[in-house]
Structure formats: structure tokens, C-alpha cells
């Protein structure tokens, strides 16, 4: 599934402090994910081009395999000469990429929204821990 950030209220502000905190953390995680995909695309050229010729299951398996291989390489060789600036990389290279289209039932959408609300409340209640 996909969990979107909360929509902004009037004046571009989130309706509650919980929602604002959730949106900031959501954005932070998204940035990490985009940088990670940028690193993978540098290492595994198959990820840098269109994969539409492969069935969706194969595309998923390719991404998972790249993740596993990347983690193995990083564990075996912590300083990777092929990616010396990996930690300081400032972009995921996703500009112009098309988002996949998802078909979601109203019930599933409701469940995701409920989960997002619960996560936002939990983050707010435990923000100082």
C-alpha cells in the first residue's frame, strides 16, 4: 500500500500538531528512500531505465534483489570505492518519473487513513522520548 501525507489545511498548514509532525517525518523518510534509490540506480543500471518490459512481479523481484545485493556489498566492504560520496548524495534522481497507478478499494483507503491517523497520534504522544 501507499500512505500519503496529510493534506494541508487553510494557509498551507496541517490541521493538527499530530498531522504536522507526521508530515515532517513522512517527508524525512521519503528523502532517505529517494537517496537510497539514487544509490541503487548508480550501482545497478537495470534500475536506471524503464522496466516496463518485465512483468510487475519480476520488477518487484529485481528491486528486492538489488536491495539484498547492496546490503551484502555494504556489509562486506563498508567503504565502497565505486560510491565514495554515497553518504553525501543529495538527490534520488526521480525527477520526471511517473508514479505507478494504484487501484484501491474504498475500504482499503479507509484502513490506510485510520492507520495514518493512529501513527500520527502515536508519534505526537511519544515525541519527547
The pLDDT, as a whole number, for residue 61 is 93
Q: Report pLDDT digits (tens) over 82-124.
A: 564 544 343 334 344 444 455 667 887 788 788 888 888 888 8
Query: Using CA atoms, how far apart are residues 57 and 76, in angstroms rounded to an integer?
Result: 29
Backbone angles phi, psi at 7, to 5 degrees: -75, 150
41, pLDDT greater than 50? yes
pTM over 0.75: no
Mean pLDDT of 48-62: 86
How high is the mean pLDDT of the chain?
77
Amino acid at each position: 500500500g501507499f500512505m500519503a501525507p496529510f493534506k494541508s489545511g487553510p494557509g498551507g498548514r496541517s490541521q493538527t500538531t499530530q498531522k504536522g509532525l507526521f508530515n515532517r517525518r513522512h517527508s524525512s523518510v521519503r528523502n532517505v528512500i529517494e537517496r537510497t534509490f539514487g544509490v541503487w540506480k548508480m550501482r545497478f543500471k537495470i534500475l536506471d531505465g524503464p522496466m516496463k518490459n518485465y512483468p510487475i512481479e519480476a520488477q518487484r523481484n529485481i528491486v528486492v534483489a538489488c536491495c539484498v545485493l547492496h546490503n551484502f556489498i555494504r556489509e562486506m566492504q563498508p567503504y565502497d570505492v565505486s560510491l565514495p560520496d554515497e553518504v553525501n548524495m543529495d538527490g534520488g534522481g526521480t525527477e520526471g518519473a511517473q508514479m505507478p497507478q494504484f487501484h484501491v478499494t474504498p475500504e482499503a483507503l479507509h484502513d490506510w487513513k485510520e492507520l495514518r491517523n493512529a501513527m500520527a497520534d502515536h508519534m505526537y504522544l511519544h515525541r519527547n522520548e
